[in-house]
Structure 1
Amino acid sequence: MRRRCEFSLSTDDAGAQTIALSGRLLVSSIAAIDRELRAVAGPVAQVDLSQVEAIDTAGAWLAWRLADEHHARIVGASDQAQRLIAAVCPADDDTPVAAPRLPTAQRVLDSIGDYVVGAGRGVIAFLGFVGAILIASGSLLRHPGRFRIKALVRQMELVGVSALGIIGLMSFLVGIVIAQQGAVQLQQFGAEIYTINLTGRLAFRELGVLMTAIMVAGRSGSAFAAQIGTMRLTEEVDAMRTIGVSPVEALIIPRVLASTFMMLLLGFYAALCAIVGGATISTLTLGIPFMTFLVRIQEVVPLHDLWVGFIKAPVFGAIVALAGCYQGMQVEGNSEEVGLRTTIAVVQAIFAVIVLDAFFAVFFSEVGWG
């Protein structure tokens, strides 16, 4: 029978102790004596390993720790034991490990440089992505039989029909806020009737389309990024390429078209809901009859305000879909990347929508549609 791991204590004339380890000093056997060794008190001069039959890394660590705690010498160690002990000794170094810290100015400049380089590469990659969509669109025009009409209808349902409830409620409440806050300010000048002008023009020109685009970005843009990103992780996109199906034609173009077209309808729907909300609060607080409010809207809102919303809506829808699909196609590595890219898609889409809205405001003012 193989000997177990054991130890014994002996004391010399000066009162110094020697701990003699024997048997098999292995990870499977040292647990039995580890607690007893930790309880050894008094000065220990030597740790004797001459009776050790076999030793591994765990046993070498035990012997070295024992000697280190009592400031003792290790004697009688075999060549193998000496090599293992020499290997485990540096592992107990408690010197703090820290990377050299660069000066603050240099770190700031490095961060700015990395951001600029990353932004430049991102722009180039996005232009390549848009180019791939244009090439795929041209291919579909030459071969219309490959166009996936069912996928388009399904995405139109997800982007548009399923969002009617939340967008209608949001726009209704926004209309209430606009009318109520506008009336509070206009009452100071006895011009409460102009609440209708304020609500109607803001709903058709700005907030109806802008708030809808932000809602679609958070709802559908994030879904596009998460869906396509998950397909990238599970290698479904690669499988589509393997069997000769273009991922751009099958996944991206239906989503971009659905978002572009449905934003046009959702923006108009949101503007109507905002006007209904404004009419409701005006009836309750200002004494303006509901139907009078609606009739007055037709008189005070110019037709070009309606066209402004119709022009901006599909552009916003395309931007939201492109941001979501592009970030989804960039997913690689692990599932954490899906959440990261989804967040980036929503932030980029909302930022781009707000920037474009400011551009449109200046542009339409310059052409006389202000």
Structure 2
Amino acid sequence: MNDHSSEHVLTVASGDEGLRLSGEFTVWTLPYLPAEAASATRIELSGLTRLDTAAALFLAGRRDGGAQILGLSDSQTKLVETVAASIPQRENTGRGAEGFRALLESLGRTVIRALVFLREIAEYLGRFLAALGRAIRHPSDFRLTSFVHHCQETGLRAVPIVALMSFLIGVVLAFQGAAQLSQFGAEIYVIDLIAISILRELGILLTAIIVAGRTASALTASIGSMKMREEIDAMRTLGLDPDMVLILPRVLALIVTLPILGLIANLSGLIGGAVMSWIELGISPSMFRYRLLLDTSVEHVFVGLTKAPVFALIIGVIGCHAGMKVGKDAESLGAQTSTAVVNAIFAVIVIDALFSVFFAEVGL
């Protein structure tokens, strides 16, 4: 039986033992195969004069289906083997682990991701310290203008929200403390409650959380957008070190401004507590000030502000790390921004807990 196209000829002979093909077996003649070719158990191809990849794909499929492919030359056999090796393999869709094994697998993957993240954070921390050391040795390499700009962005612009938040926290502490302590006739101790809570923990912790949400996202977005536009690659082409230009000014600005924001938060929180104590308990501002100076040790201020540079360092490093991880699409930018905020806030809370344990152990 002869099947013709306009320029190509394929001859197909059917027999009891299968099919015999001769002529040109190509993408042009492949549609003219008889229906029994899809189920033939033996295909004789010694008469082929031409074989292309489309026909070779058909032969590879029939061979995998158990058919005998006979009569191919060495070059034609290599072509079929090459095409067969290029066929993508279907992924295993079998049922995965279940029950306790699935739980262990998920836990293991989470631990591995956490360890990889910690390694990357340690790498970026080292890059920041290396850039800081270089700036100390060569002050002319330090980007002072960029540093001042980021101090304004991360510090000065955050003052209103930090002050308002701390003022309201002081109001809440005074109100709730008064409601509880008045049951025992110990209203005067609400001053101690406000002072210790704000100066030691809440002032700097809530400030760090606000900065983590505000600044970590800004760092990721600014560096990530530069990564998307390939500006960082252009910096390296021009001989500029991204660690000196991007990471060092941003992280150093956070380290400088966060303790200042912590002081503002402490002062604002104490003012809020004093106002509510005056309104709710009738404690005058002069009495509030007297009790504050009498019973509150400077150690509480020291404990709170000691955490600020550490919080700032980890927030800055996490934000810069997430920015450098951004890919070429906007979806990656959004995902990394969200991840940076969550990781920064989580890290701040964990580090604060570690500080609390440490200061309790040393007696501060």
TM-score by length of 2: 0.74
Q: 2:206 aligns with which of 203, 211, 219?
A: 211
Equivalent AA in structure 1 for residue 159 of structure 2: L
- What is the SS of the residue equivalent to 2:363? coil
Aligned residues of 1:182 and 1:195 also touching (Cα < 8 A): yes
> Over residues 169-216 of structure 1, what are the superposed CA-to-partner deviations in whole Å (9 max), with x where a residue is unaligned?
111101111111111111111000000000011111000000000000
Equivalent AA in structure 1 for residue 339 of structure 2: I
Residue 81 of structure 2 aligns with which residue? none
Q: 1:199 aligns with which of 180, 194, 197?
A: 194
Residue 157 of structure 1 aligns with which residue? 152
Cα offset, 1:84, TM superposition = 12
> Over residues 284-327 of structure 1, what are the superposed CA-to-partner deviations in whole Å (9 max), with x where a residue is unaligned?
11111123213321222101111112211111111111111111
Residue 311 of structure 2 aligns with which residue? 316
- Answering whether residue 282 of structure 2 is matched by residue 287 of structure 1, we say yes
Residue 268 of structure 1 aligns with which residue? 263
- Answering whether residue 92 of structure 2 is matched by residue 104 of structure 1, we say no
Residue 360 of structure 1 aligns with which residue? 355
Aligned residues of 2:254 and 2:316 also touching (Cα < 8 A): yes
1:94-133 equivalences in 2 (<5 Å)? 99-105=93-99, 106-133=101-128
Aligned residues of 1:205 and 1:305 also touching (Cα < 8 A): yes
> Over residues 147-189 of structure 1, what are the superposed CA-to-partner deviations in whole Å (9 max), with x where a residue is unaligned?
0111111111011110111111111101111111111111111
Q: Which ranges in structure 1 are unaligned for 5 or more consecutive residues?
A: 1-52, 54-77, 88-96
Give the Cα–Cα distance (whole angstroms) in 2 for the partners of residues 80 and 138 of structure 1. 69
Give the Cα–Cα distance (whole angstroms) in 1 for the partners of residues 275 and 226 of structure 2. 46
Aligned residues of 2:178 and 2:280 also touching (Cα < 8 A): no
- What is the SS of the residue equivalent to 2:220? helix
Residue 298 of structure 1 aligns with which residue? 293
Residue 183 of structure 2 aligns with which residue? 188
> Over residues 86-144 of structure 1, what are the superposed CA-to-partner deviations in whole Å (9 max), with x where a residue is unaligned?
99xxxxxxxxx993221323433332222222222222222222222222222222211
Give the Cα–Cα distance (whole angstroms) in 1 for the partners of residues 216 and 138 of structure 2. 28
Aligned residues of 1:268 and 1:309 also touching (Cα < 8 A): no
Equivalent AA in structure 2 for residue 326 of structure 1: H
- Answering whether residue 141 of structure 2 is matched by residue 143 of structure 1, we say no
Aligned residues of 2:121 and 2:317 also touching (Cα < 8 A): no
Structure 1 residues 101 and 270: CA distance shift in structure 2, 3 A: same
Structure 1 residues 109 and 157: CA distance shift in structure 2, 3 A: same
Aligned residues of 1:192 and 1:286 also touching (Cα < 8 A): yes
Q: 1:325 aligns with which of 282, 295, 320?
A: 320
- Answering whether residue 341 of structure 2 is matched by residue 346 of structure 1, we say yes
- Answering whether residue 344 of structure 2 is matched by residue 336 of structure 1, we say no
- Answering whether residue 246 of structure 2 is matched by residue 248 of structure 1, we say no
Q: Which ranges in structure 2 are unaligned for 5 or more consecutive residues?
A: 1-5, 7-27, 39-53, 55-90
Aligned residues of 2:227 and 2:328 also touching (Cα < 8 A): no
- What is the SS of the residue equivalent to 1:113? helix
Give the Cα–Cα distance (whole angstroms) in 2 for the partners of residues 248 and 98 of structure 1. 43
Give the Cα–Cα distance (whole angstroms) in 2 for the partners of residues 257 and 245 of structure 1. 19
Give the Cα–Cα distance (whole angstroms) in 1 for the partners of residues 33 and 322 of structure 2. 53
Residue 28 of structure 1 aligns with which residue? none
Cα offset, 1:333, TM superposition = 3.6
Give the Cα–Cα distance (whole angstroms) in 1 for the partners of residues 336 and 34 of structure 2. 47
Equivalent AA in structure 2 for residue 129 of structure 1: Y
Equivalent AA in structure 1 for residue 342 of structure 2: V
Equivalent AA in structure 2 for residue 249 of structure 1: M
Aligned residues of 1:260 and 1:313 also touching (Cα < 8 A): yes
Residue 20 of structure 2 aligns with which residue? none
Equivalent AA in structure 2 for residue 294 of structure 1: R
Equivalent AA in structure 2 for residue 217 of structure 1: A
Structure 1 residues 289 and 83: CA distance shift in structure 2, 3 A: farther
Aligned residues of 1:140 and 1:147 also touching (Cα < 8 A): yes
Structure 1 residues 359 and 84: CA distance shift in structure 2, 3 A: farther
Give the Cα–Cα distance (whole angstroms) in 2 for the partners of residues 318 and 103 of structure 1. 40
Give the Cα–Cα distance (whole angstroms) in 1 for the partners of residues 271 and 328 of structure 2. 48
Aligned residues of 1:319 and 1:352 also touching (Cα < 8 A): yes
TM-score by length of 1: 0.72
Give the Cα–Cα distance (whole angstroms) in 2 for the partners of residues 209 and 84 of structure 1. 80
Cα offset, 1:82, TM superposition = 5.2
What fraction of aligned residue pairs are identical, expressed as a percent? 44
Cα offset, 1:367, TM superposition = 1.9
Aligned residues of 1:168 and 1:270 also touching (Cα < 8 A): yes
Equivalent AA in structure 2 for residue 235 of structure 1: E
Cα offset, 1:346, TM superposition = 1.2
Give the Cα–Cα distance (whole angstroms) in 2 for the partners of residues 135 and 125 of structure 1. 15
Cα offset, 1:83, TM superposition = 6.7
Structure 1 residues 245 and 192: CA distance shift in structure 2, 3 A: same
